[in-house]
DNA sequence: GAACAATTGAGAGAAATTTCGCAATTCATC
DNA sequence: GATGAATTGCGAAATTTCTCTCAATTGTTC
């Protein structure tokens, strides 16, 4: 497929654009210019057009883009046409917050199961959100059985690689990693690393 | 000051290096090569050396870097020599998780107060972590009075810009933004945007 | 103290990403 | 149906970021 040659940055921004389009859709806007959409997403319009250029041609010169068409096109490329099941590993503070956080569903993802080393310590999410919390020992089988392609890792650093190995062996294709650990994965597996401490830490440089 | 011309990416990685150095320090390692440190941080050694080159010269050819010296040097540049007070706005799922999350303190940051539109709905964090939760109406005064330089925004999108304006007017210098909103700030204020939904959303592209 | 192995530091080169510039196209108006 | 304003799409230029290469330096061994 031609997917491979879209820059990672562009892919990330496509998902921003998608969210903005959704918002326009809710407001019954049916046409946007690259300027409108770009400023909603916080980027320059030239960048937006370049990004969309990787995907195809959807605009009408002089007019702009049809919100609906563009949104559908991006959905297609991003593989968001149907709900993508996701597992989450590590139901600590952050993991539990992510389960309760509704924002993922709108992006086309649904956390269908959570795993923890001590599921009995976990109470909230199961009842609140209907997400069952299993023992981490069943992770591999679950992922393989349900053909889950995306995993969210929210375990402590020490367990990060171990959990990742299980996921990889069971056929995971993409990981969103919230642990501070640097995860070692085969090339075919994509990891997005969200390092909260580093994000905050790097702000230190800019103050004073 | 000479700070301005270090690339943002490099600044981010410096904070990774710092954390790795801390770990080496705990293990009583006192010298590391660029290869050792780079692989701990998940980057190439040439990149590490280039990054450190922005800060100064700390290594000894043939030997490597003194963990202690390098760590101190990075701390100096990153302004982490003393604990940096931080306010957090929006004590929902994510905000509460961030308060409970201990990892920030190690990076030299301490959440000294939290703010919410409905502080009475918030229970956990105040008692657990000793972080008081105030009404958002007192945010501006608090920030100004305590000369807080860094803020964490974890409010819903609709409130993002409003809260940001208050922070900016009160003299904030850096913001870690977890809301989906694109925050408009003057040039002097730095924003790090952590967009959870977009991070997960962009993974959709890479699966299947 | 000479030869060797290890490792940094920095300039040059390569690659990736962003921005610019402008022709091409479309719609609305006269 | 010609003129003008708006706006895309894309190649080219500029910028930023990363990687390579290699001389310079240090400690170690014989």
Residues of B in contact with A176 (CB under 8 A): 199-200, 203
Whether B188 has its CB under 8 Å from any CB of chain A: the answer is no
Would the pLDDT of B87 be above 70? Answer: yes
Q: Please give the structure tokens belonging to residue A151.
A: 């995993």
| pLDDT tens-place string over residues A45-70 | 999 999 999 999 999 999 999 999 99
| Contact by Cβ (8 Å): B87, A183 | no
- Which residues in chain B, range 87-146, keep a C-beta under 7 Å from any nucleic strand D atom? none
Nucleotide nearest to B46 (CA to C1'): D19
pLDDT more than 70, % of chain B = 96
Helices (H) and strands (E) in chain B, counts: 10, 9
Touching check for B173 and chain A: CB below 8 Å? yes
Chain B contact for A71 (CB, 8 A cutoff): no
Report CB contact under 8 Å: B176, A107.
no
Asked whether the beta carbons of residue A18 and residue B94 sit closer than 8 angstroms, the reply is no
pLDDT in tens, B26-78: 999 999 999 999 999 999 999 999 999 999 999 999 999 999 999 999 999 99
The whole-angstrom distance between residue B110's C-alpha and the CA centroid of its chain comes to 11
- B 136-155 residues with CB < 8 A to A: 149-150, 152
Question: Are the Cβ atoms of A194 and B199 closer than 8 angstroms?
Answer: yes
List domains and CATH numbers for chain B. Answer: 2-77 (1.10.10.10), 84-199 (3.40.50.720)
- Which of the 40-79 residues on chain A come under 7 Å of nucleic strand D at their beta carbon? 45-46, 49-50, 52-53, 57-65
Q: What is the reported pLDDT for B124?
A: 66
CA atoms of A111 and B117, how far apart (whole Å): 28
* Amino acid A141: pLDDT: 98
The length of chain A is: 208
Check: CB of residue B55 under 8 Å from CB of residue B74.
yes
Please provide residue B74's backbone torsions phi and psi, each rounded to the nearest 5 degrees: -65, -45
DSSP-assigned states of every residue in B59-115:
EETTTEEEHHHHHHHHHHHHT-SSPEEEEEE--SHHHHHHHH-THHHHTTEEEEEEE
Block residue for tokens 């031609």: A2
Is a pLDDT exceeding 50 seen at residue A12?
Answer: yes
Whether A126 shows a pLDDT value over 80: the answer reads no
Q: Are B198 and A19 in contact (CB under 8 A)?
A: yes
Give, in order, the Cα–Cα distances in Å from B149 to each of A47, A207, B127, B152, B175: 32, 7, 25, 10, 9
Q: What is the pLDDT of residue B1?
A: 45
Residues constituting chain B: 208
Cα B168 to Cα B147: distance, rounded to the nearest angstrom: 12
For chain A positions 47-66, those within 8 Å of chain B (CB to CB) are: none
Distances (CA, A) of A4 to A84, A149, A188: 20, 17, 11
Ranges A78-92, A171-185, B67-81, B114-128: which has the least confidence: B114-128
Q: Alpha carbon of A79 to those of A4, A57, A190: distances in Å?
A: 13, 18, 15
- Would you state the structure tokens that stand for residue B84, as one six-digit string? 């940096």
Write out the two tokens for B29.
């390692």
Answer with the residue of higher pLDDT: A126 or A163: A163
Chosen from B201, B207, B208 to mutate, greatest number of chain A CBs within 10 A: B201
Q: What confidence category does residue B131 fall into, taking pLDDT thresholds of 50, 70 and 90? A: very high
C16 nearest neighbour residue (CA to C1'): A7
How many CB atoms neighbour CB B162 within 10 A? 12
How far apart are the C-alpha atoms of B101 and A194, rounded to whole Å? 14
Using CA of residue A52, residue A55, residue A59, residue A64, what is the dihedral sign?
A: negative
A150-153: strand order across its sheet: A133-135, A109-116, A84-89, A150-153, A174-177, A190-193
In eight-state DSSP terms, residue B192 is E
Strands A150-153, A174-177: pairing kind:
parallel
């Amino acid at each position: 497929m031609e997917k491979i040659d879209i820059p990672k940055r562009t892919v990330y921004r496509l998902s921003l654009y998608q969210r903005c389009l959704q918002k326009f859709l809710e407001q019954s806007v049916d046409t946007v210019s690259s300027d409108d959409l770009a400023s909603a997403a916080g980027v320059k319009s030239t960048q937006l057009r370049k990004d969309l250029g990787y995907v195809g041609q959807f605009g009408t010169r002089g007019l702009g883009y049809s919100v609906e068409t563009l949104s559908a096109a991006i959905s297609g490329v991003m593989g968001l046409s149907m709900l993508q099941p996701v597992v989450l590993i590590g139901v600590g503070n952050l993991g539990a917050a992510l389960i309760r956080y509704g924002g993922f569903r709108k992006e086309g993802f649904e956390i269908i199961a959570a795993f923890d080393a001590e599921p009995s310590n976990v109470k909230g999410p199961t009842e609140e959100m209907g997400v069952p919390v299993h023992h981490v020992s069943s992770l591999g089988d679950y992922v393989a059985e349900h053909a889950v392609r995306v995993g969210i890792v929210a375990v402590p650093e020490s367990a990060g690689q171990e959990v990742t190995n299980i996921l990889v062996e069971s056929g995971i294709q993409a990981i969103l990693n919230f642990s501070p650990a640097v995860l070692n994965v085969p090339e075919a597996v994509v990891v997005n690393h969200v390092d909260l401490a580093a994000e905050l830490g790097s702000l230190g440089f800019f103050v004073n």
